[in-house]
Amino acid sequence: MYRRPIIAYLRVSTGKQDLESQWMTIEAWTKTRGINIDERIVEEEPVSGAEDERPKFQELWQRVKQGKIGTIVVAELSRLSRRMRTLVNFLYDCFDNDIMVISIREGWLEEALKNEIIRPIIIAMFSTLYELERKMISERTRAGMARAKAQGRHIGHPYKLSQREVRELVKLYEEGVPIKRIAERLSVSRATVYRYLNRLNISRSKL
């Protein structure tokens, strides 16, 4: 019924308790189906917040594209990705390679994907959600820029420091103040601080 290999993917963010909760959910599901998991992939939440930069997930995705997986089991779809665009693209590749995706907490998905008539509807639904998310992000961005402009905050091109601020930046840097503290002091990003240091060809090794 379920094509092999059957892969369980677990993504944890709060340590052992989170992992055990997901695994108990998956294990209970396997017992009711009378099947065994062939491989368990456990991935820690990226501390950088870079949703797509998960090495084990990317490796899993590559195996999907190569058709080397039969079934993927997760406790819930958000374990695969919280970004709708990523989730849609991943599921598309699974569908294209006839790989079943089982999300235990979204049990309706399993039955829906088995039906050849309903399957394209599900794909279209995910695509619509992705497009909706994209538009919502765009609208929030525009609204945020409008608020920033109304509050007199700088938007658009990187903030330019005055000559006095540049002198202060260099002075603080020469005194050994961390880049983060300098950026906070001048109300700019760390990237802006580095940009000015590079432009002035200043590094602590040259001081």
pLDDT digits (tens, 9 = 90+) for 67-85: 999 999 999 988 888 777 7
The count of residues in the chain is 207
**Tens digit of pLDDT for each residue in 16-59?**
667 888 999 999 999 999 999 999 999 987 654 456 778 999 99
- From 18, 125, 124, 144, select the one nearest 79 (Cα to Cα): 18
- From 49, 40, 42, select the one nearest 11 (Cα to Cα): 42
Q: Are 43 and 54 in contact (CB under 8 A)?
A: yes
Residue 110 scores a pLDDT above 50: yes
Number of H helices, E strands in the chain: 8, 4
The one catalytic residue in 13, 187, 189, 203 is: 13
DSSP secondary structure letters along 78-121 = GGT-SSHHHHHHHHHHHHHTT-EEEEGGGTHHHHHHH-TTTHHH
* All domains in the chain, ordered by first residue: 6-119 (3.40.50.1390), 163-206 (1.10.10)
Q: What is the pLDDT of residue 151?
A: 67
* Residue bearing the bigger pLDDT, 201 or 197: 197
Which of 70-79, 122-131, 148-157 has maximum average pLDDT? 70-79
Residue 174 scores a pLDDT above 80: yes
Q: Residue 178 to residues 55, 81, 173, 203, 207: CA-CA distances in angstroms?
A: 31, 34, 7, 13, 15
Q: State the average pLDDT for the chain.
A: 81
Query: Is 13 part of the annotated catalytic residue set?
Result: yes
pTM more than 0.75: no
Q: Are 7 and 39 in contact (CB under 8 A)?
A: yes
